[in-house]
């Protein structure tokens, strides 16, 4: 074992990546695989999952991968996912949950369908998948869970993202509670607030002129004056997924390119 493998301690471990079909999820899979983790790739977009798998294996042919195409918005599917991943790999060591839905709907226009869709994917799935993974991790006395949140969970977000913000705020409370419940078994649970990426989630169905103005404003107030690269945030996930984070649990890591400095 070389010094990097010893420092990270993830070579040969199994990482579940929820939302692996693109964006941060895809990059987290690539980064963890680069340092020797086997990866369970989870999303409902089969074609993009296959692209992620091909990208992982192209750079890391020795890594073991598997695709799990599922809709995580139901509790039954979340529970079955844990069973399927464990049956395939006989272990779960790392969970990274990046999947989310975001619709631009003002408070007065929020209906039950929008509420349920957002909370089911963004919060309920994080809880039930985290809970299931933690049960397996406790048996091995080692685990790392990282749930993606958002600056909206910390600030409340923009008017049109109120339900999204509520879901992410709930994920913070969930993370702290699960960290407290699992720490004595070596299972660390943290949340990560990433920087904004130019992705379909960011664009979220906005008109072209509105999107252009928002993107221009984002770059103007961003502390870096540029878009964040996915691999920069994935490096923070690598830290939280490794032995380097052995004293970090119940924490919200803001890998957001200084979004707090812009008042987000």
Three-state SS for 101? coil
**pLDDT score of 58:** 96
Q: What is the pLDDT of residue 195?
A: 77
Q: Residue 59 in contact with residue 33, Cβ under 8 Å?
A: yes
pLDDT, the chain, mean: 91
In this predicted structure, the answer to whether residue 208 has a pLDDT above a threshold of 80 is: no
Whether residue 234 contacts residue 28, with contact meaning beta carbons closer than 8 Å, is answered with: yes
Residue 154 pLDDT greater than 90, yes or no: no
Q: How far apart are CA 180 and CA 49, in angstroms?
A: 33
Bridge partners, 20 (sequence order) = none
Tell me the β-bridge partners of 190: 146
Map 150-216 to HEC letters: CHHHHHCCCCCEHHHHHHHHHHHHHHHHHHHHHHHHCEEEEEEEECCCCCHHHHCCCCHHHHHHHHH
Average pLDDT over residues 212-228: 74
**Domain 3-253 coded CATH 3.40.50.720:** yes
Q: Is the pLDDT of residue 203 over 80?
A: no
Residue 197 has a pLDDT of 63
pLDDT tens-digit readout, 54-101: 999 999 999 999 999 999 999 999 999 999 999 999 999 999 999 998
User: What pTM value is reported for the model?
Assistant: 0.91
Q: Are 55 and 67 in contact (CB under 8 A)?
A: no
The percent of residues above 70 in pLDDT, for the chain, comes to: 92
Q: At residue 10, does pLDDT exceed 80?
A: yes
Domain locations in the chain as residue ranges: 3-253
More confident residue, 256 or 53: 53
Residue whose token pair is 């969930």: 174
């Amino acid at each position: 074992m070389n010094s990097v493998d010893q420092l990270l301690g993830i070579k040969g471990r199994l990482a579940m990546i929820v939302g692996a079909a693109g964006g941060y999820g895809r990059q987290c899979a690539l980064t963890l695989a680069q340092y020797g983790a086997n990866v369970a790739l989870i999303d409902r977009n089969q074609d993009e999952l296959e692209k992620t798998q091909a990208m992982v294996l192209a750079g890391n042919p020795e890594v073991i991968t598997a695709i799990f195409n599922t809709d995580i918005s139901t509790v039954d599917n979340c529970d079955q996912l844990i069973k399927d991943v464990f049956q395939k790999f006989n272990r779960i060591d790392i969970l990274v949950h990046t999947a989310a839905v975001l619709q631009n709907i003002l408070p007065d226009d929020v209906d039950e369908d929008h509420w349920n869709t957002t909370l089911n994917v963004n919060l309920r799935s994080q809880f039930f998948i985290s809970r299931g993974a933690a049960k397996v991790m406790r048996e091995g006395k080692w685990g790392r869970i990282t749930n993606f949140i958002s600056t909206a969970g910390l600030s409340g977000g923009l008017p049109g993202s109120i339900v999204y913000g509520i879901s992410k705020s709930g994920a913070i409370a969930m993370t702290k509670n699960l960290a407290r419940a699992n720490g004595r078994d070596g299972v660390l649970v943290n949340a990560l607030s990433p920087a904004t990426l130019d992705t379909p989630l960011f664009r979220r169905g906005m008109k072209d002129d509105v999107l252009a103005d928002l993107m221009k404003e984002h770059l103007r107030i961003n502390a870096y004056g540029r878009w964040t690269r996915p691999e920069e945030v994935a490096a923070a996930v690598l830290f939280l997924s490794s032995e380097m984070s052995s004293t970090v649990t119940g924490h919200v890591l803001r890998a957001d390119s200084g979004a707090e400095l812009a008042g987000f």
